[in-house]
């Protein structure tokens, strides 16, 4: 479990790893955090570019520590450190297969028209930076914009600001298949986080009797601390088990409501990840917050979660818990796959059926390779991006309207989409 320790150094990939909050009455839960500075060589770390990451596990202290370092490595590899493999060109001037830019998520005209909108439409005639990935459906090399493959790429030109920088799809692991499946699963997870919130989907509730001991331990601990927990089946038409967690603190005057989400090979695994998120991140949402004056000023990843967590906003989550006739019953789909390799094969087959490219980009740096880590970014442009930027929710992406229908839900038109900021952080 110490195999990643060579990366710990004030001058290395991960600067430090520290034990975080103790959870009274839940001694088996361990949390660790890491601090990575700016991750850009020669650029001093400040509050606005400092990176942090964490790892959490129930009943396995060493695993929590390892996961924290691994997540720090993933954050590190999200930066672009050199120009090897990077080509600057207009889309039409590249040789070989190029990502079909009509699939790139778009904002609505109304979103683009806002004077504070941070994004621009993709322009195939504008010279931007490109890198190659592999379309997992057929193994063919495919050019895609660097800004979609390296979410912390510096020096973005105005034309490269057609997507918001976010870690979705980035993953590290000692096993390449596990790294790719982990990145793919996160893209699927965040697709549903965005769709269920914007479309206000009445997801099925998961009965407690379906859960394993570790999930019940976290729920019972929450109940003992006056926290009410609801787990919902957020599995999409893609089929990878996904669980959305809504946790309410009726007596909390700061953070009344918060959410978490997870994917896994089983619904229990997904529920465990979602429960860890709400359990371990609650304290961080209680930190002092200078609330921005408007949604246009939301820049921190937790701004939306802190705003939506306020007691006066609790009613906006009613669609997730109300007793309503259009809420479907929970159905046990069984285990998705025996392991990550089988899960990856099944998922790629599903995307092939849906005619959706699945592009994996190698992001392993020399330092990560020295300890046996593989880093990748998985890009699935047809899925709905989860955006923490209130003014850029990709209202014009077709997936936002096709997915609910494919899953049997009613579809809200753009003018009826949820106007509230994304509460996930």
Q: Render pLDDT for 39-64 as a digit per residue (tens, 0 to 9).
A: 555 555 555 555 678 899 999 999 99
Report percent pLDDT > 70 for the chain.
96
Where is average pLDDT lowest: 4-13, 224-233, 344-353? 4-13
401 Cα distance to chain centroid? 20
Q: Is the pLDDT of residue 117 over 60?
A: yes
**Contact criterion met (CB below 8 Å) for 108 and 395:** yes
Helix pair angle (176-198, 399-406), 10° resolution: 90
Q: Is the pLDDT of residue 311 over 80?
A: yes
Q: Model confidence at 82, in pLDDT bands (50, 70, 90)?
A: confident
User: For 8, which DSSP code?
Assistant: B
Helix pair angle (267-285, 213-224), 10° resolution: 30
Report percent pLDDT > 90 for the chain.
85
Q: Is the pLDDT of residue 87 over 90?
A: yes
Q: Taking residues 68-81, report their average pLDDT.
A: 90
**Contact criterion met (CB below 8 Å) for 339 and 269:** no
| φ, ψ for residue 305, nearest 5 deg | -65, -40
**How far is the C-alpha of 304 from the C-alpha of 290, rounded, in Å?**
13
Q: What pLDDT score does 12 carry?
A: 72
3-state secondary structure of 191: helix
Q: Is the pLDDT of residue 362 over 80?
A: yes
Q: What pLDDT score does 86 carry?
A: 96
Q: What pLDDT score does 139 carry?
A: 97
Measure Cα distances from 181 to 100, 187, 320 in Å: 23, 10, 28
Q: Taking residues 76-81, report their average pLDDT.
A: 86
Q: Render pLDDT for 118-134 as a digit per residue (tens, 0 to 9).
A: 999 999 999 999 999 99
Q: Model confidence at 387, in pLDDT bands (50, 70, 90)?
A: very high
- Average per-residue pLDDT for the chain: 94
Q: What pLDDT score does 81 carry?
A: 79
Locate 292 and state its tokens.
């921005």
Q: Is the pLDDT of residue 339 over 80?
A: yes
Q: What pLDDT score does 50 carry?
A: 58
Q: DSSP string of 210-269?
A: GS-HHHHHHHHHHHHTT-EEEEEE---TT---EEEEEEE-TT-SS--EEEEEEE-SSHHH
Q: Is the pLDDT of residue 157 over 90?
A: yes
Q: Is the pLDDT of residue 37 over 70?
A: no
Measure Cα distances from 424 to 151, 208, 215, 302, 352 in Å: 18, 23, 20, 8, 29
CB atoms within 10 A of CB 281: 18
Angle at 319 between CA 234 and CA 419, to 5 degrees: 95
CB contact set of 310 (below 8 Å; sequence gap of 6+): 254, 255, 256
Measure Cα distances from 14 to 33, 39, 47, 277 in Å: 10, 9, 17, 22
Q: What pLDDT score does 1 carry?
A: 45
Q: Is the pLDDT of residue 392 over 50?
A: yes
| φ, ψ for residue 399, nearest 5 deg | -60, -30
What is the reported pTM? 0.95
DSSP H/E element including 278: helix 267-285
**Beta pairing, strands 170-173 & 374-379:** antiparallel
**How far is the C-alpha of 98 from the C-alpha of 103, rounded, in Å?**
12
Q: In what order do the strands lie in the sheet containing 51-58?
A: 16-19, 29-37, 51-58
Q: What pLDDT score does 403 carry?
A: 98
Q: Render pLDDT for 161-208 as a digit per residue (tens, 0 to 9).
A: 999 999 999 999 999 999 999 999 999 999 999 999 999 999 999 999
Q: Which residues pair with 18 in a beta bridge?
A: 33
**How far is the C-alpha of 307 from the C-alpha of 324, rounded, in Å?**
26
3-state secondary structure of 129: strand
């Amino acid at each position: 479990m110490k195999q990643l320790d060579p990366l710990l150094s004030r001058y290395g990939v991960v600067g430090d790893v520290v034990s975080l909050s103790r959870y009274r009455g839940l001694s088996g839960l361990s949390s660790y955090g890491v601090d990575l500075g700016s991750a850009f060589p020669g650029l001093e770390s400040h509050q606005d570019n400092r990176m942090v990451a964490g790892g959490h596990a129930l009943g396995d202290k060493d695993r929590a520590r390892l996961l924290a370092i691994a997540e720090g490595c993933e954050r590190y590899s999200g930066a672009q450190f050199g120009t090897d493999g990077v080509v600057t060109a207009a889309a039409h001037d590249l040789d070989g297969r190029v990502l079909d830019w009509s699939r790139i998520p778009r904002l609505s005209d109304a979103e683009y028209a806002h004077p504070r909108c941070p994004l621009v439409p993709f322009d195939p005639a504008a010279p931007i930076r490109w890198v190659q990935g592999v379309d997992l459906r057929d193994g063919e090399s495919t050019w895609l914009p660097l800004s979609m493959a390296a979410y912390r790429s510096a020096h973005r030109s105005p034309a490269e600001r057609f997507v918001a920088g976010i870690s979705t799809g980035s993953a590290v692991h000692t096993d390449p298949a596990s790294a790719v499946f982990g990145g793919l699963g996160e893209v699927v997870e965040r697709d549903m986080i965005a769709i269920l919130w914007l479309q206000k989907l009445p997801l099925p509730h998961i009965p407690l009797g379906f859960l394993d001991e570790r999930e019940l331990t976290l729920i019972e601990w929450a109940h003992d601390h006056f926290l009410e927990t609801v787990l919902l089946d957020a599995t999409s038409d893609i089929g990878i088990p996904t669980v959305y967690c809504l946790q309410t603190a009726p007596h909390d005057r700061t953070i009344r409501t918060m959410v978490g989400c997870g994917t896994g090979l089983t619904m229990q695994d997904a529920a465990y990840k979602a429960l860890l998120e709400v359990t371990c991140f609650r304290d961080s949402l209680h930190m002092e917050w200078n609330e921005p004056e408007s949604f246009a000023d939301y820049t921190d990843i937790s701004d939306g979660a802190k705003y939506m967590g306020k007691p006066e906003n609790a009613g906006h989550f009613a669609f997730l818990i109300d007793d309503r006739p259009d809420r479907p019953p929970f159905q046990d789909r069984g285990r998705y796959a025996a392991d990550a390799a089988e899960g990856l094969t099944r998922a790629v087959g599903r995307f092939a059926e849906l005619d959706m490219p699945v592009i994996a980009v190698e992001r392993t740096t020399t330092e990560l390779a020295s300890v046996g880590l593989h880093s990748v970014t998985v890009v699935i442009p047809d899925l709905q991006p989860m955006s923490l930027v209130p003014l850029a929710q990709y209202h014009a992406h077709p997936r936002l309207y096709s997915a609910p229908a494919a899953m049997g839900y009613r579809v809200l038109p753009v003018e009826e989409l949820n106007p509230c900021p994304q509460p996930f952080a």
